[in-house]
Structures are given as C-alpha cells and as structure tokens.
Amino acid sequence: MNINIETAISELHKVFHKLNDVLFNSALPEPAILIQNKGNKKNVLGWCSTQEIWVNKTTQERRYEINIVAEYLNRSVYEVVSTLLHEMVHLHNLVNGIKDVSRGNVYHNKKFKEAAESHGLIIEYNEKLGWSLSRLNDNTKSIVDSMDLNKEAFSLARMDFSNLAAGGKSSTRKYVCPQCGAIIRTSKELKVICGECLVPFELS
C-alpha cells in the first residue's frame, strides 16, 4: 500500500470526528489538522494553536490548528490518538475560556487534568510539564478499536535532524521516552527501554 501524509491526515480527521461526537457531544469546532516538524520545540508530540489562525478568504470562516509532530508520527495508533485527544482537550478548554497551561504554555495545571480525565484520557504528572503525560483510558481504546483505522497510515515519520550540529553530528545524543518525557543523554548510540512506560526511547 502506498502510504503518504495524506493518508495519515485523513485518518486523523476520522478520529477527530468520532471522538468529538462521542466524548465532546460534537461541541468542538473542526480545526485544521496538520503534520509538521517540531522545529525548535522540545519534549512535544503535538500542539493546538491558541488562536483561530486559519481563515477562508471567501467565507471568512476561521479555524484553530491542531498539529501532530512529524518526527513522532510512526508510533502506535493508541499513542498517536492520545496526542490528538490531548490537543482536543486543549481546544475544548480554549473555546470554553478555561486556562489550562502556564509557564509559556508548557506547564499543564489541574484544570487540564480534570478536563482530560473527563474526556477519555489518563493523566500523570511530570515535574517540568505538569499534568501533561497522557494515555487513552480503556473506554477510549474501545472507541478507537471500533473504528477500523488504517494502522499503516502511522508507519511514516519525518527523520529527526535536531541532533545535527553545524559541523556534523553532535557529540552527545538525547533520547526521550515518547510517553513520560524522561531524557537520557549519551555520547553513544543506544537502544534503551523506559523502565516506567516499557517503551523504547527515541532519539530526539
């Protein structure tokens, strides 16, 4: 099967509509859903714009943006959907006037935790990110399982070049757990598994 970004975006829109219907009573405005590189952002799997930054020049309709980081697109379906749902919770809070982050929109407060846990996520605490670490609860997993998603859509990811210095490879490498955000720095190439999450660390 010829998988391209178009396939992944189509599946993400399918998931958005289903979760919006089931978990948010269809109350969320449809955003522009993108897949793009993380740039200089660190420890981020996705984000939701704080403003309606897309506009239709004919109708003047405006949309928020939800982005899934391209370097981490090739995770499991549950993990990618967890990131999408995390950003949907931010969108829910935005349109309802709930301030759920601080410290440069990085630290997730208890209002985020409460909203996320009432909309299908299990939330854990991280010292730097607050109540940010997200995974799907069993009910949401069942919803995802019922959708018959194309899992191959999430087999493609952008190569991560952030470890390259101006003159070549950096002397140190940073590995990040994609679930809890734990970081390992080393001068060697490693294959390590997070003892807490039991998933492989990823080169960041």
Q: What is the pLDDT of residues 138-161, one digit of tens each?
A: 999 999 999 999 999 999 999 887
Give the model confidence (pLDDT) of 50-61 as tens digits.
999 999 999 999
Same domain, yes or no: 52 and 134: yes
Same domain, yes or no: 130 and 180: no
pLDDT confidence of residue 86 = 98
* Residue range(s) defining the domain that contains residue 132: 5-159
pLDDT confidence of residue 177 = 84
Same domain, yes or no: 147 and 167: no
Same domain, yes or no: 19 and 70: yes
Same domain, yes or no: 149 and 168: no
Query: pTM surpassing 0.85?
Result: no
Query: CA triplet 28, 34, 38: central angle to 5 degrees?
Result: 120
pLDDT confidence of residue 189 = 73
Which residues of the chain fall short of a pLDDT of 70?
1, 163-172, 187-188
Residue 3 CB coordination number (10 Å): 13
Same domain, yes or no: 121 and 188: no
Same domain, yes or no: 167 and 155: no
Same domain, yes or no: 28 and 46: yes
Same domain, yes or no: 27 and 102: yes
Same domain, yes or no: 25 and 92: yes
Same domain, yes or no: 56 and 36: yes
pLDDT confidence of residue 164 = 57
Q: How many domains does the chain have?
A: 2
Same domain, yes or no: 200 and 137: no
β pairing state of 32-36 and 65-69: parallel
Residue 188 CB coordination number (10 Å): 6
pLDDT confidence of residue 168 = 47
